[in-house]
Each structure stands twice: as C-alpha cells, then as structure tokens.
Amino acid sequence: MQTKKVLKIAASVLLGILFLWLAFREVEFSEVVDSARGMSWSWILPFAATTLFAHFIRALRWEMLFTNKDKVPSKTTLFTGVMFGYLVNIPLPRVGEVARPVYVARQVDESNSKIIGTIVLERVVDLLGMLLLMAFVVVFLVADPQVLSRLFGVDITSSETQINFILTLGKYGLFAAAGLGLLLWLFKKAEEKTEGKIADFVHNIQKIIRTFVDGLLAIKELKNWPLFIFYSLLIWVFYITMTYIGFWMFDMQNVYDLGITEAVVLTVVSAVGISIPTPGGVGTYHLFITKTLLILYAVPGATGLAYATIAHAATLVIIITSTPVMLAVDKYLLMRKEGEEH
C-alpha cells in the first residue's frame, strides 16, 4: 500500500512537470519574466482578499451541512479546515479532501465518515455549478464565429467546413457507439467468468455508499435553501473575480479587451485544469490558461504564461502563509473554550 501511494505521488509530480514543460516549451522564459515585471503589483492585495473571502464563504456553506446541532464546529474551525485541506493538496493532490474533514472531526469529536460525506455532497454541488458555467461558456463560444474559427484554426462560417464537421462528428459518433457496444459485450463476458469477484466488488461499493450516506442525507436537513444557493453562487462569483483581478494586474482589460465574460471562460478552464491531479495544480493550470488566452483571445504566450504563473503562485503563497496562522488561532480558541467549560 505504501509503495502504491509513493507511485501515485510520483506519477502526480511527473504529470505536473510534463504540463509545465508543455506550457513553457514554446515561450522564451526571459519574455515571461519581462511580462511579470511589467505587471501592477497593487492588485495583489485585492486578489488575496478575494481568495480568502471565497474560502470563508465555502466554510459558511459547509456549516449548513452539519445536521447534529450539538457538534457544529465553529466558523473558525471550519475555515481552518478548508485552508488546511488546500494546504495538504499542494504536495498531495486529492488528499486534502480527506484531511479537511478529518481535521474538523477531531475538533468536534464527530465521525470522520459522516463529515467526509458532507464533502462529497459539497463537491456534487460544486460540480453542478461548474456544469452550469460550462454551459454558459459553450453558448458563448458557439455564438461567436470568430472565437470558433480561432479555436479550430479554420473558417467555421464556411459551408464546406460545416459539412466536414458534421461528417467528422458522425464518423466519431459511430466509432464511439461501436466501442461502447464492444465494452459492454466484454464486460458481460467477464462478469460470467468472475461472478464471485463482481459480487464482492458490488458489496464493497455498497459499503462505501453506506459510509457516506449520513453526510449525503444532510441535504434534506437544510433549513435555508436560498442561503445555501446564495453561498454556492457567491463562491463562483469570487472565483471569477479573482480571474478578473488578474486581468487588471497585466492591463489585459485595456490591451486585449478582456472582461467578465472572458473571466468566466478562464475560470471554467482553470477549474478543469486544476481537477487533473498534479501537486497544487502546477503545470495543468499554467498550460490550460496560457493556451486559452492565446487561442481564444490572441494574448501572447509570454504574457499569458506570466499571468498564469503569478496568479497561481499568489494563490499558493496565500494558502501557505495563512493556513499556519489559522491553525494557531483555531487551536488557541479551542483551548480557551475548554478552559472556560472547566
């Protein structure tokens, strides 16, 4: 098991290095440095404040999922848990999703599995939010032929291109249907040969589901749905604002006419990039943001990479510096509370 974990971490690090190389390979590093030097550093403070507010709102929304009113953690503990999870995610992708509820569970003497269940529910809500934003992005892209032409490298408005696209889509659709049919047939054959193993697998899945069921059922206990939805929307508003503030760091709102719509597109792209398990989103974020800025908005690679590097580094620095402070504050408040009770 230990070897498996080491291999996973190694694979994650190598993946991050690969994406970093892909991001930097076509750009002169000196040009990236020059672009970074020309940025407006006065926007770093608003960027940091927006980042912390986004995480605090996440903690407030998380608080609403605790159904056992006798064991609801304090807002400080929840915020610290959120920050601690992000801190752990930097060297160990995805581990922070477990570290966050475990930290909070220890503070309130609650079941780990139950609190992990609330994290699962929270991620489902986040996924729904991202899908809605992705739908907006798709509509935006389809509605702008110039953007589509830059994206695919051809004149998307010509009838010849449209016919070729439909034919290609149909061809790949047939291949996908045939492949799916083959997979279903192979699965059926494998199931016939390994009936006992399949049953064990299903049983294990059922156990996992039961472990999380209490946390997932917390959604039924919500007393204030409008507030929960408001918090969920506000988190995304802060994320989009972080992206938009980044534009002002590099004067992109004037030079490349980037506004809120473009910030929404980049926020969705960054969310997809960060979802790939590399340490702290290193590499994936840089590549996805740089290529999106270049292909969709004609932002030079060096400028786009400088933007991605500064925004990503600032986020990591905020997490690395603020989390130890929050851990100390939370520990102090918990000790003081215990002293008052005794």
With respect to residue 33, please indicate whether it lies within any of the assigned structural domains.
no
With respect to residue 20, please indicate whether it lies within any of the assigned structural domains.
no
Q: Which domain covers residue 131, as residue numbers?
A: 2-11+51-278+290-332
Residue 157: pLDDT above 60?
no
**Domains contained in the chain, number:** 1
pLDDT at residue 197 in the model = 57
- pLDDT tier, 73 (very low <50, low <70, confident <90, very high otherwise): confident
Mean pLDDT of 222-250: 92
Residue 199: pLDDT above 90?
no
Which distant-in-sequence residues (6+ apart) come within 8 Å of 123 by Cβ?
Answer: 97
With respect to residue 55, please indicate whether it lies within any of the assigned structural domains.
yes
Structure token pair of residue 319: 């997490």
Residue 285: pLDDT above 70?
yes
Mean pLDDT of 151-180: 63
Provide the percentage of residues in the chain whose pLDDT is more than 90. 30
With respect to residue 27, please indicate whether it lies within any of the assigned structural domains.
no
Q: Would you say 312 and 281 are in contact if contact means Cβ atoms under 8 Å apart? A: yes
State the average pLDDT for the chain. 80
Helix/strand/coil (H/E/C) assignment for every residue in the chain? CHHHHHHHHHHHHHHHHHHHHHHHCCCCHHHHHHHHHCCCHHHHHHHHHHHHHHHHHHHHHHHCCCCCHHHCCCHHHHHHHHHHHHHHHCCCCCCHHHHHHHHHHHHHCCCHHHHHHHHHHHHHHHHHHHHHHHHHHHHHHHHCHHHHHHHHCCCCCCHHHHHHHHHHHHHHHHHHHHHHHHHHHHHHHHHHHCHHHHHHHHHHHHHHHHHHHHHHHHHHHCCCHHHHHHHHHHHHHHHHHHHHHHHHHCCHHHHCCCCHHHHHHHHHHHHHHHHCCCHHHCCHHHHHHHHHHHHHHCCCHHHHHHHHHHHHHHHHHHHHHHHHHHHHHHHHHHHHHHHHHC
Mean pLDDT of 309-338: 90
CA distances in angstroms from 260 to 26, 130, 241, 266, listed in the order given? 28, 16, 8, 10
- pLDDT tier, 69 (very low <50, low <70, confident <90, very high otherwise): low
With respect to residue 45, please indicate whether it lies within any of the assigned structural domains.
no
Measured in degrees and rounded to the nearest 5, phi and psi for residue 38 equal: -85, 0
With respect to residue 298, please indicate whether it lies within any of the assigned structural domains.
yes
Which distant-in-sequence residues (6+ apart) come within 8 Å of 279 by Cβ?
Answer: 12, 13, 16, 90, 91, 92, 93
With respect to residue 339, please indicate whether it lies within any of the assigned structural domains.
no
Mean pLDDT of 177-187: 75
The number of CA neighbours under 13 Å toward the Cβ of 320 is 9
Question: pTM of the full predicted structure?
Answer: 0.77
Q: CA-to-CA distance for 305 and 208, rounded, in angstroms?
A: 41
Q: CA-to-CA distance for 185 and 208, rounded, in angstroms?
A: 27
Mean pLDDT of 283-299: 88
With respect to residue 24, please indicate whether it lies within any of the assigned structural domains.
no
